[in-house]
Amino acid sequence: MNNNKYKILLVEDESNIRNLVSTMLEASEYRVITATTCKEAETMFASHMPDLIILDLGLPDKNGLELLNYVRNESLTPIIILSARTDEHDKVEALDMGANDYITKPFGSAELLARVRSALRNNRHCSEEGKLPGGKFILGDMVIDYDARQIFIGGNEIKLTQTEYNIVALLSEYSGKMMTYSAIIKTIWGYPDEGSIKKLQVNMANIRKKFGIKPGDKSYIINELGVGYRMNSDKN
């Protein structure tokens, strides 16, 4: 696969992490440009129009969330948050502000590259086909037929309730993007209440059971505890 056309803006003030991530990306033939502050990143974003931004939240001049806000006012350029922070609140806030995904330090090359591919693919899906999916979604041996509202795994139909189907269809529509609990709840039920997260978790447990997903199994739908769910967009 030739990634040469993709330009990635890496915003990170720690030089050893910046060098490590640059090396990982360049080894996969991505073009990498770097910035070490929010201010510098704004300039780089405006002049280079990168295809993807990898953004550290703890920057010397401002919080990375401010850059996220700035970029989202201008474009849908996919953004992956790079953070050493374990604070769930920051991740959730970044995702609700429009970040596509996040990756927690330390991480390996394979994980980083998988997130990058997902985010770039997710962006293509949005720009070419719009937000409302039509036709079919295929992931590994799972097929979603949006018109018939049916889901098949290995050719066998998985019988879901309307709500369960709506959740899976929503995650597939944004495959590759980490969806926070509140974003899913707002879309599926329209309003949040005290029992919303529990209700979502119960539905998700039923979906996993019907899909035959065992705990710890990484296929199809990934749960980040305290954050949300992401449908894989990698074939594996």
Closest contact distance (angstroms) between CB of 14 and Ca ion is 5
Give yes or no for residue 56 binding Ca ion (CB under 5 A): yes
Closest contact distance (angstroms) between CB of 3 and Ca ion is 26
Give yes or no for residue 13 binding Ca ion (CB under 5 A): yes
Region at 153 (left for phi over 0; alpha for psi -120 to 50; beta for the rest): beta
Q: Which stretch in 12-20, 37-45, 120-128, 181-189 sits in contact with Ca ion by CB under 5 A?
A: 12-20
Task: Tell me whether residue 91 is exposed, middle or buried, using C-beta atoms within 10 angstroms of its C-beta: 0 to 12, 13 to 18, 19 or more.
Answer: buried
Q: Which stretch in 13-21, 31-39, 68-76, 142-150 sits in contact with Ca ion by CB under 5 A?
A: 13-21
Q: Which stretch in 8-16, 132-140, 162-170, 200-208 sits in contact with Ca ion by CB under 5 A?
A: 8-16
Give yes or no for residue 164 binding Ca ion (CB under 5 A): no
Closest contact distance (angstroms) between CB of 193 and Ca ion is 37
Give yes or no for residue 58 binding Ca ion (CB under 5 A): yes
Closest contact distance (angstroms) between CB of 57 and Ca ion is 7
Query: Cβ–Cβ contacts within 10 Å for residue 98, how many?
Result: 16
Select 24 or 55, whichever has its Cβ closest to Ca ion: 55
Q: Please give the residue whose beta carbon sits closest to Ca ion in the complex.
A: 58
Select 13 or 93, whichever has its Cβ closest to Ca ion: 13
**Binding footprint of Ca ion on the chain (CB under 5 A):** 13, 56, 58
